[in-house]
Each structure stands twice: as C-alpha cells, then as structure tokens.
A and B are shown apart, each in its own frame.
Chain A
C-alpha cells in the first residue's frame, strides 16, 4: 500500500461516493452550530419539509451575539436577541443538544466543542464558521462551510466536496521562551501570505508542533484559514489522547480502547507525498505583531512598520499605503513604539485556559498602563472561566486593572456590544485585523496572549521575552 498523508486518510475514510471529475460526497461526523449562520439553513429545511439526518451529530451554542457583562439582564439588542432565540427554538424543535447562554458549558463554539470531547480524532467536523479549522488539531478533517452547506449537511449528513491539495508546514526546533503557537501561526502567514494555503489542506508537523499542547495546536489550526487553507491539521499522539480522555462526549469503556487504537494510525506515513512543503525553524521565530489590515501584514516585535516604497509590486504598494493610512501608522516606526488604546484577550484563537494562564503570568502584580482605556479578558467558555477562577487568575487580572468578562466571541468580531471606537488601536489575541473587524474604523494588531497582556501593562508593544 502506498504511503498516505493524514489528509488522505481522513478523506478516504469519509468518501461516500465520488464522480469521475473528483466531485465527492463526504460523510460528516460532527456538525457544530451557532446562531449567526444557521437560521437560514433551518428555514430552508422547513420550507423543503426536510428534517435533520442525524441530530445526534449536531451540537449547538450561541456565541457571536452574547453579551460578556450583565448576562442576567439578557441581550439588550432586539435583533441579536431574536437571532439567539431563533437558535434556541430551532434546537428545541429538532431535539438538538444546545448549551444556552446561561449554561456553564456555553462558550465560543470552537472552544466548547473540543472541551466537551465533541471533536474527536478521525472525525469530519464542519460548522458555518471559517475558524472550524481549529478542530484539525485533533487529527480531524475540519473546515468552515457556508449556510447553504450547513443546510446540506443537516439534510444529508454529507457535503459535496473535491479533495484539496496537501501542504506540509514543518516547524522543527524549539520555540524560545515567550514565543507561542500564535507566533508560529503568524510567522507562517507572514511567510506564505493570506492566500498561500488557498486550495490546500495544511498539516502542521515537526518537533515544535509535537511539543505544543492541544491548546497550542488549536491556536495554530485555527489560523490555518488566515493562510487561506480551509483545513489545518496535526497528527494524533499521546497529547491528543490524554486531552480527549474523560471528556463528556469522549468514547468510554471498550469503545475507548478501540478508538485509541484507531487514532494512533492518524498521522502521515513515512514517504507520504505533499503537493507543497514549507519549513520553519522554531528557534528563529520571535513574538509577532501585525501592523496592517491583513494577517500577512506582520512583523516581529523587533521590527518596524514597512515602507510601501519597498513593496514588491504595485498592487502590494497600494495595499500597504492604504493599510498604513487606515492604521494611522508611519512607515519605519518601530513596532515597540506603537501605543495601544485597548487590549482584548480571548476568542476562538486564544480564549483557552492556557491562554488565560499565559496572560495572567505577565499581568501578575502589575497594573494596566494609564493610556490603556480598557483591557478585557474574555474566557472562551464558561468552563474555562470557572477553571481560571479556581486558579485565581480572575483575581490577578482584576487586581491589574483588566476586566474579567463572560464567555463569547466578543471583540474578535464585535457583533455584541464589545467593540472599538473609530480610530482606537487594540492589541488583540483574535485572528483578523481586517478593516472594521473590531468596529468601524477600528485598528487591530494581532498578537499572542502574553504579548497582549504585556502591551496592556506597558501601554505599547513590548518584547515579552524581556519580561520573563
């Protein structure tokens, strides 16, 4: 038998049928659902008098619209409230398990799923959300889909798809102190560009990836979509198995042993062929900071805002000029001289317990700088919040002047009330620095949780390696 990539194995084990032109029906094991991209899919089902194929494969949670303060008062915005109530009603009607806003298990869908053991190695996982790539950290084939496809999966348990090409991103060596999975992700995007992974499924491999915790692997796979790849993935190993063990949706008893035996096969075989390979040396990666309006507009903490005059071509030069104007930055400004107005720690990228610990370690015993108007920490789920509080992290943040909020997507995309005012500059642990992403006119700099916490304390970006 020829050598297979992890992607080959995941794809092959889910093909229901395939046409001569490569168009395939792929069976979906898990569909995660949130309030923003599902109402039209449920409506479509109803209009066609169809029912979900397998409700047990679905798991729903409201996350984008939920408030992060004063939850007892409910959702103030009537349009947001209706969207969440629509999810509640649809889940009740079809008998879909949903963790509602008051449930401690509620959280950002990509934090909640793995935390519940609802994402397992070997699965195909979809959700109407581009950051579904997160779940690939478990050696699963996971990617975002549009609402028409959400309806398609509900109705048929399958997706119409064509196989992508396979890219190997190999990160060997050891990460330096203070350098994290987020920095690997941004360094990869800086290297291959936001369209570098388009048409590919990326497998992250190498010593530095094996050394990452599951939280770190999720951060990395989460950002695969920002490199253009719908899916990112990491081979299953002992780290994966120990993370999954004992979680509510994880297999039990004899099924557990059988599952683990299968999961151990979920890696690329020696000699497996990839369509493209990118290599990075972990020891050379420094803490990353984006300076523009696309995640590929990134440099490291010792770098400077680039000069559009040095852009490689006319289209890029135009993009850089527009980005600098939007961001209110001058060419050649050292990154460490950029002051921030607000700090956001959270999101499906960096809202997990490890991220909370990493940020708290920096904030401990210090105070948020006077020029920072708001520094907020939004745990990725109610369970992350509870765990952090058990460890006293909430107290560390609050003592330092951070706000400690309730779980949700929050200021990653500012669909609820958490947003930046026009012109405000934010150090953010989220995934996108697009124009208007955190509010109209908002200026986002993507960084790791430790870098965000350090920026909150210093009032400007600083090299977190000098703080540890």
Chain B
C-alpha cells in the first residue's frame, strides 16, 4: 500500500444518499480474479449510456453527459464529496479498488456503511466523516466554484477549503498509522503470533468441539 501523503485535490460532488457498492462497481465486474483495473468501471451504470461487461474497451463506450464524474470541470478529481450512508450494501472490496483505481484518494460524507469504511483503509483511501451541515455547505461551495480544490492533511487530521476554512476530522489512531506508513495489517498482526497461539490453546481447552 502506498503511503498517504498530504495533497491538494479537486473535489467532485455526488449528490445522492445511500450510494451502494452495487452502484460503485456492478456485479459483472466482480468476476475478475484480479485486484486492479476496476477504475474504468467505477459507477459503470451511471457513467456510461450502454451496458458494460468485462473485457469491453471502455474508451469507446458512450459516456452519460449528465453524470457528474463525466463533466469536464471535475476531470482529475481526487476527493469525492458524498451524502449519508455512502458505500452501503455488499462487502465487495472491489468498490474501494474501483474508486482508488479511478484516482480518488478521499471520500467525504456525513456517514459511511461500516464494511465499506473499513475496506477503504486497507486500500489507501481515506473516508472522512463530517457533520451533515458542513457537507451540505461544501456541496454548495463546490458546485459554485469551478476548480474547487481542498488540501487533505492526514497527519494533522484536517481538510482545508480554498477560502482557508479548516475542517478537522477524526480518524482511528491505528488506521491513521497504517495509512501514513503504507502498512498492511497482516504484517502487524503477525508480530503477535505468540498471543494468538496462547489464545488458541486456551480456547481449545474451553471449547474443544471447535477443534474436533
């Protein structure tokens, strides 16, 4: 995983609540046995006018001009501004894979679904929870100003708007550490092999039927 560094990123607003992972990456693309290459199919059903299938040349497909990610002013966006319960539904990690592969690094929303929220951190994506009224104000500001960029500083846990307004955010210490250092959890967990083995021995005695 790449280290998460401070950056200034263009913001794209996706103004609908309950955006589910089926919408983020439709099921036909889940047939892949790879971890990469999902970006061109992020939001496939909203983004293209035709029906997408794996193996198509996406550069030749008709784009839906009404979908916000297709508008010229939002090309190259790295920050997605969203509404409540973003990422609900299926646990598919293909959703953060697709968003990351598309080029997004931060998602700001009033709330996220638990599994999606968790999956983001495993893939270098930072989900940021801000209060609904702040998100609402950001939607208005982003839509009003072409080229609206925000500075994201994970170390300081702040997002700074072009007008200098600073939005502090909360992030779990362990997850922050992993993102900043590009660490994967498995290596960290395996530092506790002895604890796991000791637990397992105790557990086996208490509930032997689990090991029969």
Residues of A participating in the B interface, judged by any CB pair closer than 8 Å:
13, 16-17, 19, 21, 23, 25, 27, 29, 36-37, 39-40, 43, 48, 50, 53, 56, 64-65, 77, 79-80, 82-83, 86, 120, 122-123, 128-130, 132, 143-149, 151-152, 155-158, 160, 162, 164, 194-195, 198-199, 225, 228-230, 251-252, 255-256, 258-259, 262, 294, 296, 315-316, 318-319, 322, 413-415, 432, 434-437, 440
Contacts and interface: CB of A to CB of B under 8 A. Distances in A.
Interface residues of B, number: 61
Nearest to B122: A148
A120 B90 CA distance: 24
B186 A50 contact: yes
Given A16-B196, A160-B189, A436-B26, A130 B207 contact: no
Nearest to B18: A294
17 contacts: A13-B206, A27-B196, A36-B31, A37-B92, A43-B33, A79-B55, A128-B91, A145-B115, A148-B119, A152-B185, A195-B85, A198-B113, A296-B18, A315-B17, A434-B20, A434-B22, A436-B22
Given A43-B35, A130-B91, A162-B172, A152 B27 contact: no
Interface of B: 15-18, 20, 22-23, 26-28, 30-35, 45, 51, 54-55, 83-85, 88-93, 96, 111-115, 118-119, 122-123, 172-174, 184-186, 188-190, 192, 195-196, 199-200, 203, 206-212
B31 A228 contact: no
B93 to A, nearest CB: 4
Nearest to B50: A440
Pick the most buried of A40, A86, A164: most chain B CB atoms within 10 A of its CB. A40
A316 to B, nearest CB: 8
A146 B119 contact: yes
Pick the most buried of B26, B88, B114: most chain A CB atoms within 10 A of its CB. B114
Nearest to A87: B33
A29 B210 contact: yes
A198 B114 contact: yes
Contacts of A21: 172-174
Contacts of B28: 415
Nearest to A30: B210
Nearest to B35: A40
Contacts of A146: 91-93, 96, 115, 118-119, 122
Contacts of A251: 209, 212
A-B interface, 5 closest residue pairs, ranked by CB to CB distance from nearest: A251-B209, A148-B122, A146-B93, A146-B119, A39-B33
A83 B33 contact: yes
Contacts of A259: 207, 209
Given A155-B189, A157-B196, A413-B90, 10 more contacts: A17-B192, A23-B174, A25-B195, A40-B34, A158-B189, A158-B196, A228-B85, A294-B88, A315-B17, A318-B16
Given A36-B30, A259-B207, A198 B111 contact: yes
B91 A145 contact: yes
B179 to A, nearest CB: 13
B75 to A, nearest CB: 24
B23 A151 contact: no
A50 B187 CA distance: 11
B196 A156 contact: yes
A325 B51 CA distance: 19
Pick the most buried of A37, A148, A315: most chain B CB atoms within 10 A of its CB. A148
B209 A25 contact: no
Contacts of B186: 48, 50, 151-152, 155-156
Given A16-B196, A122-B207, A415 B93 contact: no
A39 B32 CA distance: 9
Contacts of A256: 209
A195 B113 contact: yes
B22 A432 contact: yes
A158 B35 CA distance: 22
Pick the most buried of B84, B90, B123, B210: most chain A CB atoms within 10 A of its CB. B90
A467 to B, nearest CB: 32
A157 B199 CA distance: 11
B89 A120 contact: no
A262 B89 contact: no
Contacts of B26: 436, 440
Contacts of A23: 172-174
A194 B84 CA distance: 10
B18 A65 contact: no
Nearest to A29: B210
B210 A123 contact: yes
A37 B189 contact: no
Contact of A194 (B18, B90, B114): B18
B132 to A, nearest CB: 9
Nearest to A415: B27
A25 B189 contact: yes
A160 B183 CA distance: 14
Contacts of B188: 160
A114 to B, nearest CB: 16
Contacts of A199: 114
A50 B15 CA distance: 43
Contact of B27 (A149, A318, A413): A413
A130 B115 contact: yes
A253 B118 CA distance: 41
B33 to A, nearest CB: 4
A393 to B, nearest CB: 29
A116 to B, nearest CB: 14
Contact of B200 (A157, A162, A315): A157
B122 to A, nearest CB: 4
A120 B210 contact: yes
Contacts of A155: 186, 189-190
A133 to B, nearest CB: 10
